[in-house]
Homo-oligomer: A and B are copies of this chain.
Amino acid sequence: MKLYYATGTCALASHIALEEAGAEYSTARVNFATGEQRSAEYLAINPKGRVPSLITERGILTETPAMLAFIAQSFPKAKLAPLDDPFRFAEVQAFNSYLCSTVHVAHAHRMRGHRWADDPAALEAMKKKVPETVAACFELIENKMLQGPWVMGETYTICDPYLFTLAQWMEGDSVDPKRFPKVWDHRNRMSERAAVRKAVAEEKG
């Protein structure tokens, strides 16, 4: 398998999950600074012009929640999701769906407001609200969703690398992570895991 990623993006979640799964995979960095994600070569891989993309022997997958569930199902011995319990699996998926459709979207209004408006004043207005909207998301995660010590409780799942990835963006969004002690503790514990260190080091290298 081959993972296309860009540094500082949500692709890190799948990168960590591949490591945790013990998968054999390679990575390819997409250079957002030069707009490589909109190159003809990359659009042939992912017509959305986004990361991550995962090349598998069956074809190409996109969208973090789908890729994370795929990694968990493809490497069942790694026990990255409650594969035999549809309700628990749905709880895992609901958490990841919230991250992709609400938390990531809230964050994206800081740097990617041009997706939803053209007026420069509107982009500034969006940017201004990001600290409030992102903090509201993490307040909900802290108080209602993160069971502890891992997202789903005693068992580490594909929710954990995804939360870790998005929780790293808080400072950039002017949100103090220490306001959310459980999320903060989770982020710190995650950053000590071998799989996380390896994926982060490779993406920064």
Chain A residues engaging chain B, CB cutoff 8 angstroms: 47-48, 56, 58-59, 61-67, 69-70, 73-74, 86-87, 89-91, 93-94, 96-98, 100-102, 104-106, 109, 115-119, 121-122, 125-126, 128-129, 133, 140, 143-144
Contact = CB atoms under 8 A, between A and B. Distances in A.
A63 B59 CA distance: 27
Nearest to A99: B101
As for how many copies of this chain the complex holds, the number is: 2
Contacts of A96: 66
A48 B140 contact: yes
A125 B117 CA distance: 6
Contact of A65 (B65, B91, B126, B133): B65
Q: Which one of A106, A126, A140 has the greatest number of beta carbons of chain B within 10 Å?
A: A126
